[in-house]
Structure 1
Amino acid sequence: MSSNPEPVVLGKIGASYGVKGWLRITAYTDAVEGIFEYSPWLIQQQGEWREVKIDRWRFHGNTVIALLEGVETREQAQMLTNCDIGILPQQMKSLPEDEFYWRDLIGCEVINTQGYNMGIVDQIVETGSNDVLLIKANAKDAFGKEERMVPFVTDQFIKQVDLTAKQIIVDWDPDF
């Protein structure tokens, strides 16, 4: 797998369910069942990614459980507990031009409309009302900031996202 790009993690395998190899699935997709729109999965076990196929899945209360091909016993299922679930980047769905995957924004340089380099997007935090860019400020930031938080609100604060240039233009005061 070393020649392929790093998989995109979409979830995690939880504890086994029952005695016939079913597994609880924690999905990081918007809708829990969205994780099953991707196939095959890659699971990371002991530092190595390997391909697995989903035999079937279903809702169980507020969660989902799945049966993977070749996993037929509780003991086999238990060996997969806590494994990350991923897919290759090329399996991800294309988005409309004005939408972005969070992973594409990480590492982008953030510059305000006055041309001040505010730093690099380190992570994105979901707050409920809107997502927030957590920006790691440059080492010699003129305002003494170590990090900044800018709401990801297009048209109001986010003026332009250029993924090719890995750059985001924001309308934000660098001293805030």
Structure 2
Amino acid sequence: MSDIQQPIVLGKLGSSHGIKGWLKITAYTDSVDGIFNYSPWLIKEQGEWREVKVKQWKPQGKAVIAELEGVSNREQAQMLTNCEIAIMPEQMQKLADDEFYWRDLIGCEVTNTNGYNMGKVDQIVETGSNDVLLIKANVKDAFGKVERMIPFVTEQFIKQVDLQGKQIIVDWDPDF
């Protein structure tokens, strides 16, 4: 594993389920079962990443549980409770040109169409109708802003996203 490429955390292993080594899964993917679109997983045990494969998984109420290769009893499963689940960046699904992973947008400089530097993307919030960029304003913002919220609505507010240059151009009043 290269030092340059850091694993991308997609979830974590929860408590053991039953006596045969199954584990509850907490997924950070869009859908709970979306985490199973990726294989193999990396799990972080005692600060070290190691590869594991999912033998099988199934829904359990509103959650999911999984059986991992090499884990065959409750005691082995309990040793993995709270371990992070990750994949390498090259395992990420290719997106359409107008779609972006949140992790790629965080840290981008945001400039409006008039050239005013609004700050950097600090977080992204899902609101149901659309995602919202939380922009941490520059320390000496001319409008006295500490934070801005800009809906991530392409064509209307988001005019251009340059992931290579870590730059987003928006049609947004800096005083708003």
**Quick check: TM above 0.5?**
yes
Q: Distance in 2 between matches of 1:34 and 1:147?
A: 32
Q: Secondary structure of the equivalent of 1:11?
A: strand
Cα displacement (A) at 1:156: 1.1
Could you give the per-residue CA deviations for residues 119-145 of structure 1, whole angstroms, max 9, x where no partner exists? 111111111121110111111111111
2:129 paired with 1:135: no
What amino acid is the match of 1:35?
Answer: I
Task: Give the aligned partner of residue 165 of structure 2.
Answer: 165
Cα displacement (A) at 1:4: 5.1
What amino acid is the match of 2:174?
Answer: P
Q: Secondary structure of the equivalent of 1:39?
A: coil
TM-score (norm 2): 0.96
Alignment of 1:76-155 (within 5 A): 76-155=76-155
What amino acid is the match of 2:136?
Answer: K
Q: Distance in 2 between matches of 1:138 and 1:3?
A: 31
What amino acid is the match of 1:27?
Answer: A
Q: Secondary structure of the equivalent of 2:77?
A: helix
CA gap of 1:4–1:40, structure 2 versus 1, over 3 A, is farther
Cα displacement (A) at 1:29: 1.3
Alignment of 1:38-77 (within 5 A): 38-77=38-77
Q: Distance in 2 between matches of 1:46 and 1:150?
A: 39
Q: Distance in 2 between matches of 1:127 and 1:104?
A: 19
Q: Distance in 1 between matches of 2:3 and 2:152?
A: 34
2:31 paired with 1:31: yes
CA gap of 1:4–1:115, structure 2 versus 1, over 3 A, is closer
What amino acid is the match of 2:143?
Answer: F
Could you give the per-residue CA deviations for residues 40-75 of structure 1, whole angstroms, max 9, x where no partner exists? 001112222111111111111221100011111111
Give me the identity figure in percent. Answer: 76
Could you give the per-residue CA deviations for residues 129-168 of structure 1, whole angstroms, max 9, x where no partner exists? 2111011111111111111111111111111111111110
2:148 paired with 1:175: no
What amino acid is the match of 2:137?
Answer: A
Structure 1 stretches of 4+ moved >6 Å: none
Q: Distance in 2 between matches of 1:166 and 1:115?
A: 15
Q: Distance in 2 between matches of 1:109 and 1:52?
A: 37
CA gap of 1:135–1:92, structure 2 versus 1, over 3 A, is same
Structure 2, gaps ≥5 residues long: none
Q: Distance in 2 between matches of 1:110 and 1:50?
A: 37
Cα displacement (A) at 1:39: 0.5
